[in-house]
Amino acid sequence: MNNSIIKYCYGDYGDKESSTGGGTIKTSANEWPLWEIFIRSKQGLDHKHVGSLHAVDAQMAIENARDVYTRRQEGVSIWVVESKYIHASNPDEAESFYEPANDKVYRHPTFYDLPDEIKHM
Amino acid sequence: MNTKNFIYALHLADNALILAQRNAEWTGHGPVLEQDIAITNISLDLLGQVRNFYQYAAVLYNGFSDKQKEEVNQFIPRLWKEYHRELQEDDLAFLRDEHQHLNLLITELPRGDWAQTVLRQFFFSAFQFYLYQQLQNNTDQQLAAIAAKSIKEVTYHLRWSAEWVIRLGDGTEESNDRIKNAVADQWMFTGEMFIPEEFELVDVGALKNSWTKKIEDVLSQAALELPRQTWIQSGGKGGKHSEYLGYLLAEMQYLQRAFPNSTW
């Protein structure tokens, strides 16, 4: 008996259209690593996180990012970081992390009188 | 302007149009989302070139004398002649029959699997790259300008497809098999690029060395051998096509033929 599993890839909906031409592919080790993408929209601005995508290596991640995120002239520079290297704060700790700042309005510079001539503060 | 320039513009446009249509077949069916977008982008880039070439061809034709119009009559769609208006880019794309197309045979081959698709793109983009390098210095300023504008995107297509060829050739046993089969299948269609036709304004024969060098370089990185086989399949530039082109045109042209002059 044939125990191989047919795995349908993105966009496949039948054998004929399958990217494997109807063949089977192994399910393990087929997932490409995830990368976080940062784009600088123009010179002088900082790189901003725009999303993530899959790629086999950094080179391909940059090219995929070029195709996925800069098609409409969104950027002049691309950074990619493999997602596993991003360390995040724990949502469960949100209370102790962020709430203590809630009642400390004096940390905002809102108690200064600004001269009328200054328009963009 | 010469009728040769008109026919050459059609040839350049047909090459890009037929391959754009083939690549577009991957839209929604790519192996992964990111590469689905990549191949669709390439398709759209090619379509942009197509529009420039057809628009130019239409302008040339509309400015021709009756004698010149007669000279290129075999390439003009029959259906358009009943419209009694000036020739437009869409008429050239959607109303011409198979034998009126002058595209290279390699562009009309079925999309096959991913290996076939990226290899064809690699062979073709390498050719377009060296061709446009020459064409951008042509005395026909309009064609030169289109080539100069397009060569940036072609440079990227070449880089993208070459990396895929290397990745598959130097990958798993299966990927190596698939790309090896693709090379064996497509090799006989590459020679046609360098057999000059009368209408060509660039000496394509002279591009063969640079092209072959580039192909050799990438195939060796991909642990693949350059085929020894020398039989060349040709005819596309002269309007003689494989059976595949008819099916492609039937799908692509259906709407304009069923509902003439429809727009959205």
Reading chain B (264 residues) residue by residue, the pLDDT tens digits are 799 999 999 999 999 999 999 999 999 998 889 999 999 999 999 999 999 999 999 999 999 999 999 999 999 999 999 999 999 999 999 999 999 999 999 999 999 999 999 999 999 999 999 999 999 999 999 999 999 999 999 999 999 999 999 999 999 999 999 999 999 999 999 999 999 999 999 999 999 999 999 999 999 999 999 998 789 999 999 999 999 999 999 999 999 999 999 887
* Strands, E assignment, A25-121: 34-40, 48-54, 77-82
* Residue A117 per-residue DSSP state: T
Q: Which of A108, A29, A97, A56 is nearest to B164 (CA)?
A: A56
Q: Which residues contact B164 (CB under 8 A, 6 or more apart)?
A: B114, B118, B122
Phi, psi of A53, rounded to the nearest 5 degrees: -160, 170
pTM comes to: 0.85
Distance from CA of B225 to the nearest CA of A (A): 24
How many other CB atoms are there within 10 angstroms of residue A121's CB atom? 7
Q: How many CB atoms lie within 10 A of CB A82?
A: 14
Among residues B242, B247, B182, B190, the alpha carbon closest in space to that of B21 is found at: B247
List the one residue out of A51, A36, A79, A64 whose CA is nearest residue B36. A64
Inter-chain residue contact A59 with B114, CB threshold 8 Å = no
Q: Which residue is closest to A25 within chain B, CA to CA? A: B174
**B33 vs A55: CB contact, 8 Å cut-off?**
no
CB distance B165 to B218 below 8 Å: yes
Write down the pLDDT at residue A94.
86
Q: What is the pLDDT of residue A98?
A: 86
Sheet bearing A48-54, strands edge to edge: A48-54, A34-40, A77-82
Domain spans in chain A, listed from the N-terminal domain onward: 1-30, 34-87
The residue-averaged pLDDT of A55-84 equals 93
Strand partners, A78: A39
Confidence of residue A1 (pLDDT cuts 50, 70, 90): very low
Answer for the pair B237, B11: CB distance below 8 angstroms, yes or no.
yes
Single-letter code of the amino acid located at A115: P
- How far does the CA of residue B2 sit from the closest CA of chain A (Å)? 37
In the prediction, which pLDDT does B125 show?
98
Tokens of B259: 């509902």
Q: Which of A9, A60, A63 lies at the smallest CB-CB distance from B31? A: A9
Please report, for residues B104, B157, B247, the alpha-carbon distance to residue B40 in angstroms, rounded to integers and kept in the order given.
21, 11, 20
Nearest residue, CB atoms, B114 vs list A11, A19, A71: A19
CA distance A4 to A1: 9
DSSP A64-89: HHHHHHSTTS--SEEEEEEGGG----
Alpha-carbon gap, residue B173 to B170, rounded angstroms: 9
The answer to whether the Cβ–Cβ distance between A68 and B29 falls below 8 Å is: no
Residue A71 has a pLDDT of 85
A26, pLDDT greater than 50: no
Alpha carbon distances (Å) from B42 to B13, B15, B121: 15, 14, 9
**In this structure, which CATH number among 1.10.150.120, 3.40.50.300, 3.30.1490.20, 3.10.20.520 belongs to the domain A34-87?**
3.10.20.520
pLDDT tens for each residue of A3-19? 555 555 565 555 555 55
Kindly state the helix (H) or strand (E) to which residue B121 belongs, with its residue range. helix B114-135
Residues of A with CB under 8 A from a CB of B: 9-12, 17, 19-21, 32, 53-56, 59-60, 63-64, 67-68, 71
Residue with tokens 């990111």: B34
Fold of the domain built from segment(s) B3-258: Ferritin (1.20.1260)
Predicted pLDDT of residue A119 = 81
Q: Which residues of A touch B121 (CB under 8 A)?
A: none
> Quick one: pLDDT at residue A27?
44
B-chain CB neighbours of A10 within 8 Å are 30-33, 36
Domain boundaries, chain B: 3-258
Residues of A with Cβ-Cβ distance to B35 under 8 angstroms: 64
